[in-house]
Amino acid sequence: MLTTNPFEDDKLHEECGVFGIWGADGAASYVALGLHALQHRGQEAAGISSFDGKHFHTHRAMGQVGGNFDRDEIMRPLTGRTAIGHVRYSTTGETALRNVQPLYADLNEGGFAVAHNGNISNAMTIKRALIRRGSIFQSTSDTEVFIHLTATSSFSTPLDRLIDALRQVEGAYSLLVLTEQGLVACRDPLGIRPLVMGKLGDAVIFASETVALDVIGAKYVRDIDPGELVLVDDGGLRSYRPFAPARPRPCIFEHVYFSRPDSIVDGSSVYEVRKNIGAELSREAPVEADIVVPVPDSGVPAAIGFSQASGIPFELGIIRSHYVGRTFIQPSDGVRHLGVKLKHNANSALIKGKKIVLIDDSIVRGTTSLKIVQMMRDAGASEVHMRIASPPTRHSCFYGVDTPERSKLLAAQMDVAAMAEHIHADSLAFISIDGLYRAMGDVRDARQPQRCDACFTGDYPTTLTDMNEDGHPRLALVASR
Ligand code: SF4
């Protein structure tokens, strides 16, 4: 199910963030803080599961972390020295409390709580097979297949049962699993979604991004490697490599947009990479202009890089209101067009009479770009040139990012010249895929790309069992219903 809300934002949305801690008094409080720092990865719902040595405690709620997990009556019962948590922006599964993570089940070997960032690209196929064998699903989330595959595995130890489950799934997962035996962190064999490990005294922490370690004062230790499974229990920390070796393909879009600029992803500062992207863009697509204006907030670092490399002054020509909630306005057609203005407003005194270069991170449907270009013209800009800090988004993501189906992606429908005309820009240019890799200090290997860049290139790093590349269910699946 696709849930992009074009009214709220014409962006791709990261689906989820995860955070877990082993061995700290008041573990759930650390998780709440960590989830706060990961709120940009999902604002629709949040949840925490803790284990006190005897019992599991779980609270899941619609809405953001603040407003839920800052309330004493919610936090007090989440006792124990180990806990995991999750923030969610759904792509698969409807928006409902039953899909909010961590998902929890009582298995033969005890409690099992799971928090998942990513998307399983063969979940439908697995789910149908499990249902035929008698499994009863409680949610419509792809994450629940981890529980059923583990529960029905014929292996004997809890860890082997989980590994058996993981070997059956395709796609992207950075996973935290809390059991009575310990806390497990695992990253899929291609490492599509990020997962890092940190330490706070003797406590071990896992998080989607380093910024979540920073907020609790923890030290970054290392990334969980693609295909690595780490188990923490009273005996310490053990690392396993249960999958066949594969060439990693971490998501390139984490650097373009998803991760916070103060995070370190795959060993690189997201802020520095975004500035480099802007500098590359200024070399690839130079333009004569008076000022460089970012579309806030995500276009800011690339605009700084563009300005520094080109010598064109950086100015805040668009001011963003930080008080526009995701649910402030109902998406009715009558007021739909007002949404962009509520969130972004032109700094007219600055813009009037100027040739401007607008920098944004991406164009998805083009609805926001069209309105922002018009906003610049209304404010008196003499020329509006748009530069985009990613290549054209032409393909859907099946790895845990909310993308419209292909037919709704502007770049899948028209070439760059037609897009420029569509958004009424004087010129439009995107960074090239090679330029994007250069900004990260890489040279792209076209035969075996070092990253997942499928939304730009269509080169999907895994089999897409459930869907074809347009996002439609495969015919064979429909026929087998
Ligand atoms: Fe990231 Fe795009 Fe690959 Fe999805 S398709 S994992 S957004 S690079």
How far apart, in whole angstroms, are the C-alpha atoms of residue 46 and residue 44? 7
Give the ranges where 285-409 is alpha helix by DSSP (H): 300-310, 333-336, 339-343, 348-351, 367-378
pLDDT tens sequence across 20-41: 999 999 999 999 999 999 999 9
Q: Where in the chain is the domain with CATH 3.60.20.10?
A: 2-250
pLDDT tens sequence across 200-243: 999 999 999 999 999 999 999 999 999 999 999 999 999 999 99
Q: Which structure tokens are listed for 285?
A: 């697509």
Measured from the CB, is residue 253 less than 6 Å from ligand 1? yes
Residue of 76, 436, 107 lying closest to 256 (CA atoms): 436
- The active-site residue, picked from 16, 186, 397, 455, is 16
Q: What is the pLDDT of residue 337?
A: 60
pLDDT at 6 over 90: no
pLDDT, greater one: 14 or 107 = 107
Percent of the chain with pLDDT over 70: 90
Q: Where in the chain is the domain with CATH 3.40.50.2020?
A: 269-451
| Side-chain half-sphere exposure of 269, counting CA atoms within 13 A | 6
Task: Kindly list the strands in the beta sheet with 82-88, ordered across the sheet, starting from the edge strand earlier in the chain.
Answer: 56-62, 45-51, 82-88, 16-22, 203-207, 196-200, 219-223
Measured from the CB, is residue 251 less than 6 Å from ligand 1? yes
How far apart, in whole angstroms, are the C-alpha atoms of residue 64 and residue 357? 35
Return the ligand 1 atom nearest residue 454 CA: 5
Please tell me the pTM assigned to this model: 0.92
CA-nearest residue, atom 3 of ligand 1: 452
Beta bridge partners, 320, equal 344
For residue 16, indicate whether it is catalytic: yes
pLDDT tens sequence across 421-442: 999 999 999 999 999 999 999 9
pLDDT tens sequence across 140-160: 899 999 999 999 999 999 999
Measured from the CB, is residue 252 less than 6 Å from ligand 1? yes
Cα radius of gyration rounded to whole Å, the chain? 23
**CATH 3.60.20.10 applies to domain 2-250:** yes
Q: Ligand 1 mean position to 248 CA, how many Å?
A: 13
Q: Which amino acid type is present at position 280?
A: E
Beta-carbon contacts of residue 164 (< 8 Å; ≥ 6 apart): 149, 150, 153, 154, 155
pLDDT tens sequence across 318-362: 998 877 654 444 445 556 566 667 778 999 999 999 999 999 999
CA-nearest residue, atom 4 of ligand 1: 397
Residue of 15, 20, 97, 114 lying closest to 63 (CA atoms): 97
Say which CATH class 269-451 falls into.
Answer: alpha beta
Q: Ligand 1 mean position to 455 CA, how many Å?
A: 5
Report in angstroms the alpha-carbon separations of 243 from 77, 127, 399: 38, 22, 19
Q: What is the pLDDT of residue 87?
A: 97
Residue 2's pLDDT band, with cuts at 50, 70 and 90, is very low
Measured from the CB, is residue 454 less than 6 Å from ligand 1? yes
Measured from the CB, is residue 188 less than 6 Å from ligand 1? no
Mean pLDDT value across the chain:
91
Q: Round to the nearest angstrom and report the end-to-end CA distance of the chain.
A: 18
